Structure 1
Amino acid sequence: MGRSVLELWLLWSVVMRVMIALPIAYSASSTSSQEALLVSRIAFGSCANQSAPQPIWNAIIDFDPQIFIWLGDNIYGDVRRPFKLFGKERTIGPWKNVPRFIPSSEREMQSRYKKTKTNPGYSRLLENTKVIGTWDDHDYGLNDAGKEFNGKITSQRLLLDFLDEPQDSPRRKQAGVYTSYTFGPVDRQIKVILLDTRYHRDPLFSDGSILGSSQWTWLESELKGPASALTIIGSSIQVISNLSAITGPIFYLECWGRFPKERERLFKLIADSKRDGVFFISGDVHFGEITRYDCATGYPLFDITASGITQAVEKAVPPPLNFIVRFVAWLAPTTMRVMGQHCRRKSCTYGQPNFGAIEIDWDATPVTVKMEVRDVNGFPVLSVNTSLLELQAQSVGALYSIKPGEYRKHCSLEVTLPWIVRHRLAILFFCALAMLLLTLAGLTFTAISASVLVLI
């Protein structure tokens, strides 16, 4: 009898040790592996000015996401000088003598992160939702900055503190904030890969590197690792859309398309990995958009852009002028943009505050994936419904190929559009400017002529 009790006690001790050790081994097995809880709702967003009202958190909480992903500009940590055309400190024009944006102090960055973290709506989200994220330029520390920014080490620590990253996390020891997570049971896993498009990025117009060699090596191992039902790649800047190709030389936006070699390398890596179920989420541009590229992997690659929590292009102009913003968005060539009857705007972009929402119906056959951009009240403004079956490589590769000189929707890049189509915004802008100058010249001439007649 005593021996049996001893054996039972030893067995119980072994079981307890295994149970205690399991979660520790599991959490250390990857950058951040998660418990095998089925995930069906993911929200994401970007561009949240900590000093602006943030009522959209109520809609995000009502969506009841299990995961929320920050995609950058989680705060606006740099200092923006006002537009000044004249004076001692000129921030715009060909004669500007000071930069429009300058870094703020570490203390000020901490203060701005604290303001966001203590926002009542965001605080409520933190109670029941796993929050992860990466950064973009304004929380990196300086507008449009890349690897040349001197304050990036401090900025990395502040971001990871904001995200409650453990002190022993590999993210605190590496150069850059890139990371990955795996959620859900083995047969229904979702892999989230968060890229760092700042720490190693070469200068704009260089067509150099966005990720840097170490991050590329890491990304290759992530994509060629164990399969998952879905793989979400989070990039702070847009991957598929290249609006700069159609808005230049009036203005330019940051995106992967401005580094064509890097984007081609990314698409090729996804294709070579033979990984199904990959799509992108992005932010940065201050409007919502869903784009699609069919000529990279053998299945459609989607990019759902949600921007921003507070910052939006239609809020940057007086409300009576919003029709101009919507007209320009409608006129812009829509090579990659997903157009549909369910879009709230005819342009299928949305220039008011918004967030992204992903819903997976694991019980459907085949499993369905709903990708949406939602407004401040939680109503969809842009939407795409697809399935895991549609996100698998097709057996006939020719279906997704394109011949030289051929134009195809969701396949021809913006830079391949005919010149007059690609630059129609610039043509319209300069024609309107010329008409305005001619009108002003005519009015000035008329006023001078009238004055001369009066004097005579």
Structure 2
Amino acid sequence: MALIYCSFTPLVVLRLLTVVIAVGSVLKAACTTTASDEAPVSRIAFGSCANQSAPQPIWDAIIKFNPQVFIWLGDNIYGDIKRPFSLFGKQRTIGPWKNVPRFAPSSEHEMQSKYVEAKTNPGYSRLKDKAKVIGTWDDHDYGLNDAGKEFGGKITNQRLLLDFLDEPQDSPRRKQAGVYTSYTYGPVGRQIKVILLDTRYHRDLMSSDGSILGTSQWTWLEKELKGPASALTIIGSSIQVISNLSATTGPLFYLESWGRFPKERSRLFQLISDRQPNFGVIEINWDAVPVSLKFEVRDLNGLPVTGVNISLLELKAKTVGSIADTKAGKDQKHCSLEVALPWLVRYRLAILFFCALAGPFAFQSVPNAAKDERCGTHAE
């Protein structure tokens, strides 16, 4: 489990989390919790990918960080059943002749037992006593690997997730289709808005270039971002927003991301762009002039992987009010897209794979040692 993920993290924590911080605006909609009478929130921790059956030493580091808010960004448990790799035999779970799905959903009782195991983890229990815990889900706590709106267990599993998060029984979140929500923390002038998306409940098939959020969630998100201003707005997504590794790994294999839904991602970027976007993850020093943010990534054992300090002014768009200019100071260099890379770089894995396969066979008819200019090898 990574403590935090942002656009400049190394591959070791590139699994799931993308957080967008926007100096933008908020709206106290139906699924919004407001805590404006509280003290300013300055320390927020993020986490995901927590296997409830595995050791979780990361909690000690998170508790030492002393966050006021901890945000689950998905895979809070691994609820589905993972079958072993099998290329041959009666039950083939991988390869072109696969006849059995690699993952299968658990029963309601099994899901509930896994949540109990996660919730009673001593480290996590201590964190819950010290910090406000909020969250959304991803596929494995949704109930099935890479699943979307077609998954039949989503209504039951929504209830189980909200129970895990101690969501009040009368919460509007228990009555809506999906677990998306938002929170506002801190006094006026120092308010932080946290918007958590649901990228599962309404998501179309990945091959469709359809919708991730669905009509109702898009309407809600637009209202959230067009209301009265807060000092910071944090948008949490359980799948990668900025990165698009599929642009590099395809067509060999594809990873889940907003990049698989180009129209949806463009719509999200445009919506955030209208609100002067900035990217990162956060520890806030409200007492600094100007207000400073500390971005940090930690590994499973809580050891720092990378980090950067930056002032809030550096994150703001260079031309306030300009939709076209959305650069965020010198640290915007960390927000790069694989799809912006040259074609040869993006598809280098596929090219190398083709060369590896074609090298021994493609030039057998060429006499002697004719050089293969495409692959840089020789055919004898």
Q: Which interval holds the TM-score relative to the shorter structure? A: 0.7 to 0.9
Query: What residue identity is the alignment partner of 1:33?
Result: T
| Residue of structure 1 equivalent to 2:367 | none
Q: Distance in 1 between matches of 2:81 and 2:336?
A: 39
Q: Distance in 2 between matches of 1:409 and 1:214?
A: 34
Deviation at 1:177, TM superposition (A): 0.1
Instruction: Note closer, same or farther for the CA distance 1:428–1:52 as it changes in structure 2 (3 Å cut).
Output: same
Q: Distance in 2 between matches of 1:150 and 1:264?
A: 29
**Deviation per residue, 1:293-312 (Å, 9 max, x gap):** xxxx5xxx3255xxxxxxxx
**Deviation per residue, 1:330-355 (Å, 9 max, x gap):** xxxxxxxxxxxxxxxxxxxxxxxxxx
Between 33-42 and 185-194, report the one with greater CA deviation: 33-42
Query: What residue identity is the alignment partner of 1:71?
Result: L
Query: What residue identity is the alignment partner of 1:424?
Result: R
Q: Look up the SS of the partner of 2:44 in the other structure.
A: strand
Instruction: Note closer, same or farther for the CA distance 1:138–1:182 as it changes in structure 2 (3 Å cut).
Output: same
Deviation at 1:87, TM superposition (A): 1.3
Query: What residue identity is the alignment partner of 1:74?
Result: N
In the alignment, which of 306, 316, 329 is matched to residue 382 of structure 1?
306
| Residue of structure 1 equivalent to 2:34 | 33
| Residue of structure 2 equivalent to 1:157 | 159
The TM-score, its normalising length taken from structure 2, stands at: 0.81
Q: Look up the SS of the partner of 1:108 in the other structure.
A: helix
More helix by share: 1
Instruction: Note closer, same or farther for the CA distance 1:434–1:56 as it changes in structure 2 (3 Å cut).
Output: farther
Query: What residue identity is the alignment partner of 1:363?
Result: D
In the alignment, which of 125, 141, 144 is matched to residue 143 of structure 2?
141
In the alignment, which of 112, 115, 118 is matched to residue 116 of structure 1?
118
| Residue of structure 2 equivalent to 1:82 | 84
Does the 8 A contact of 1:240 with 1:303 survive in 2?
no
In the alignment, which of 60, 64, 75 is matched to residue 58 of structure 1?
60
Deviation at 1:267, TM superposition (A): 1.3
Instruction: Note closer, same or farther for the CA distance 1:411–1:236 as it changes in structure 2 (3 Å cut).
Output: closer
Deviation at 1:28, TM superposition (A): 10
Structure 1 gaps of 5+ residues are 1-26, 277-296, 305-357, 403-407, 439-456
| Residue of structure 2 equivalent to 1:417 | 341
| Residue of structure 1 equivalent to 2:238 | 236
**Deviation per residue, 1:249-302 (Å, 9 max, x gap):** 222111111111111111111222x3x5xxxxxxxxxxxxxxxxxxxx5xxx32
Deviation at 1:375, TM superposition (A): 2.5
| Residue of structure 1 equivalent to 2:291 | 367
**Deviation per residue, 1:86-112 (Å, 9 max, x gap):** 111111111111111111100000000
Larger relative CO (CA 8 A, sep 6+): 1 or 2? 2
Deviation at 1:410, TM superposition (A): 6.3
| Residue of structure 1 equivalent to 2:93 | 91
Does the 8 A contact of 1:36 with 1:186 survive in 2?
no
Does the 8 A contact of 1:72 with 1:139 survive in 2?
yes
Query: What residue identity is the alignment partner of 1:216?
Result: W
Q: Look up the SS of the partner of 1:32 in the other structure.
A: strand
Does the 8 A contact of 1:59 with 1:376 survive in 2?
no
Query: What residue identity is the alignment partner of 2:339?
Result: V
Deviation at 1:412, TM superposition (A): 7.0
Q: Look up the SS of the partner of 1:233 in the other structure.
A: strand
Q: Which has the larger radius of gyration?
A: 1
Q: Look up the SS of the partner of 2:169 in the other structure.
A: coil
Q: Distance in 1 between matches of 2:62 and 2:30?
A: 31
Q: Report 1:350-361 matches (<5 A).
A: 358-361=282-285
Q: Distance in 1 between matches of 2:73 and 2:177?
A: 18
Q: Distance in 2 between matches of 1:36 and 1:127?
A: 17
Deviation at 1:394, TM superposition (A): 2.3
Q: Distance in 2 between matches of 1:271 and 1:89?
A: 48
Deviation at 1:113, TM superposition (A): 0.3
Deviation at 1:386, TM superposition (A): 2.2
Deviation at 1:401, TM superposition (A): 7.9
Q: Look up the SS of the partner of 2:295 in the other structure.
A: strand
| Residue of structure 2 equivalent to 1:395 | 319
Deviation at 1:411, TM superposition (A): 7.6
Deviation at 1:415, TM superposition (A): 2.7
| Residue of structure 1 equivalent to 2:369 | none
Q: Distance in 2 between matches of 1:99 and 1:30?
A: 36
Q: Distance in 2 between matches of 1:29 and 1:199?
A: 18
Structure 2 gaps of 5+ residues are 1-27, 362-380
| Residue of structure 1 equivalent to 2:174 | 172
Instruction: Note closer, same or farther for the CA distance 1:430–1:238 as it changes in structure 2 (3 Å cut).
Output: same
Does the 8 A contact of 2:47 with 2:73 survive in 1?
yes
Q: Distance in 2 between matches of 1:63 and 1:199?
A: 33
Q: Distance in 2 between matches of 1:176 and 1:30?
A: 11
Instruction: Note closer, same or farther for the CA distance 1:94–1:377 as it changes in structure 2 (3 Å cut).
Output: closer
Instruction: Note closer, same or farther for the CA distance 1:398–1:68 as it changes in structure 2 (3 Å cut).
Output: closer
Does the 8 A contact of 2:192 with 2:234 survive in 1?
yes
Q: Distance in 2 between matches of 1:376 and 1:95?
A: 36
In the alignment, which of 281, 302, 308 is matched to residue 279 of structure 2?
302
Q: Distance in 1 between matches of 2:163 and 2:293?
A: 32
Deviation at 1:416, TM superposition (A): 4.1
Q: Report 1:232-271 matches (<5 A).
A: 232-271=234-273
**Deviation per residue, 1:54-109 (Å, 9 max, x gap):** 11110111100111000000001011111111111111111111111111100000
Percentage of pairs with the same residue: 77
- Report the count of equivalent residues: 328
Q: Distance in 1 between matches of 2:31 and 2:65?
A: 29
Query: What residue identity is the alignment partner of 2:221?
Result: L
Q: Distance in 1 between matches of 2:289 and 2:144?
A: 47
Q: Look up the SS of the partner of 1:166 in the other structure.
A: coil
Deviation at 1:183, TM superposition (A): 0.5
Does the 8 A contact of 2:136 with 2:196 survive in 1?
yes
Q: Distance in 2 between matches of 1:140 and 1:86?
A: 30
Q: Distance in 2 between matches of 1:101 and 1:433?
A: 30
**Deviation per residue, 1:343-398 (Å, 9 max, x gap):** xxxxxxxxxxxxxxx21111111101111111244332121322221232322759
Deviation at 1:30, TM superposition (A): 6.1
Q: Distance in 1 between matches of 2:293 and 2:246?
A: 30
Q: Distance in 2 between matches of 1:57 and 1:252?
A: 31
